[in-house]
Structure 1
């Protein structure tokens, strides 16, 4: 199977997963029910309401979050030249969580700022601080980015825990971001974040060719005429838009940004113009299936989607670490 055929197969699988996501739940719907809900909806039909509100919103969110995290992780791995990098390593998740904790524990802030917007702002500020720390000596070296992100994530995490210990009433609000979930959100509420994620995906398209050069190493890329500083800033901006919006919409959904780029590269090759769009498709598929599994594993209760993606991603992460260790040896 050649590369175009593999991409087409991924699109077909994605459509199938989206249909399953609309069908799955404590009460299973049929494809006929889904067609009726979209083409002949009735205001008094409970199944139509469930599909058009609850299941449609979480399906759309899973698709957007999966694509955003996968692309953000892929760009970050190329930017840092580190195959174990992911959006969380820059402190983006920790920054978003700290913003949500502040909103939950400080009434004057909560009165003026939505937790969703606050999470995005916190993620963006965290990434900006990491970039500033890493580029203090005129260049953002890959190792500097990783170290600055890890340090800032630890600091933000400690502050968040301290605030929650002082005011435990905010813990219920924060649990959603800690565990990760695409349930319970209305599209009317999060559509600005969806728009931000789509903008981030579109802005990333012109960078694909330059990312191919960057993947060869900073020295080779600079010798080829690539403006490293400009590309690094643009790539970081895309990562902030994608990862920040994803964390704000779904909380701490782990391992998608780490694992999916590796799967995409093995399946589609090393050309960013091919494997990054493929990573977006794979990220959508995995996030949709993780959400379906989260609904069914302990029905009628639900497992947080962050737990399901961790169950999938943790073994792959361990395998990657062991492979990197053997490579260095």
Structure 2
């Protein structure tokens, strides 16, 4: 019998092995997400045994521990899942649209724009509930995104370096204006300072109801353009020559980032670095293909957010540290390392 020595790439199943490996990694990430969710339900200022948590979830638990699980920690965990997923995917799409590895809702000024708009609404309209912040967060996020993209244009093309600088300038300016508004009014300071720190605690599921359709729309748009983002990475001219509508893809991606980041900021405040860190955590594992990167960030974002939230609760017992402070503390060195790496 004649035996042919086929190259590895032509061997049966060889083309499927990378996909299988990625699927296994996504499954492992899903397991890590389940573990983080369980930790979020069980750990806090007062640890609760997992059997008690399970009984509370099934409706069989009674007493104070069951009330803490169902009344406080379940909403907190679900909010963390939604906010973390939104920020993770927003970061992946922002980096793909701008071709800038430092792009995220924070570095593009989107979080700062949403925060400034919400604080302005608190100062002028007297808002006092996170559920009222949604439209102002959207407006601020959209205005900041438009301003950053407008300032980064060079000869009609998007300059990734100028975009990062524009986002940084916007963040500094808007943060300064936000601080000025808070200092001008004690009521605004009292209402906004906890929200601006970034937290998923102290909120009920009511805050998720108005944002879920917008989060779903942002995720749908992100998944829809993920194949085109791979081509966009080759440059605008190359992508256009391959038939990719660059302007439409970039507009769709920007709208998706604004929707996702605006919803996340409206619910939890401007939580930093989740959108920046998630793609850089996923990319070495799943590669740069956005068809895998986007779902990977949908898992990695909540993992990072819930892990940071649990750390903030455990590290400061019997008090707690807001998750936005924890992510900022851990994310600042990451930004410095990435900036140094990109500069080389």
TM-score by length of 2: 0.87
**TM-aligned CA distance change 1:310 to 1:220, over 3 Å:** same
Aligned equivalents of 1:281 and 1:52: distance in 2? 23
- Quote how far apart the aligned CAs of 1:189 are: 2.7
- RMSD between aligned alpha carbons? 2.3
TM-score by length of 1: 0.90
Deviations 1:259-295 (A, max 9, x none): 1111111011121111221122111111111010111
Q: Which of 115, 124, 139 pairs up with 2:133?
A: 115
**1:88 counterpart = 2:102:** no
- Equivalent residue for 2:182? 164
**1:13 counterpart = 2:10:** no
- Equivalent residue for 2:316? 298
Aligned equivalents of 1:55 and 1:89: distance in 2? 31
**1:63 counterpart = 2:81:** yes
- Quote how far apart the aligned CAs of 1:84 are: 1.2
Q: For structure 2, which runs of at least 5 residues remain unmatched after alignment?
A: 1-19
- Quote how far apart the aligned CAs of 1:35 are: 2.0
SS in structure 2 opposite 1:285?
helix
- Quote how far apart the aligned CAs of 1:168 are: 2.8
Aligned equivalents of 1:270 and 1:107: distance in 2? 45
Greater percentage in helix: 1
Deviations 1:230-270 (A, max 9, x none): 00100000000111111111112111111111111101112
Q: Which of 246, 251, 257 pairs up with 2:275?
A: 257
- The answer on whether the counterparts of 1:93 and 1:247 sit within 8 Å (CA) in structure 2 is yes
Query: How do 1:1-329 and structure 2 match up within 5 A?
Result: 2-41=21-60, 45-107=63-125, 114-132=132-150, 134=152, 139-325=157-343, 327=344
- The answer on whether the counterparts of 1:97 and 1:174 sit within 8 Å (CA) in structure 2 is no
Q: For structure 1, which runs of at least 5 residues remain unmatched after alignment?
A: none
- The answer on whether the counterparts of 1:79 and 1:142 sit within 8 Å (CA) in structure 2 is no
- Quote how far apart the aligned CAs of 1:216 are: 1.7
- The answer on whether the counterparts of 2:95 and 2:102 sit within 8 Å (CA) in structure 1 is yes
* Larger of the two Rg values belongs to structure: 2
Aligned equivalents of 2:128 and 2:191: distance in 1? 11
Equivalenced residues, count: 324
Aligned equivalents of 2:187 and 2:169: distance in 1? 28
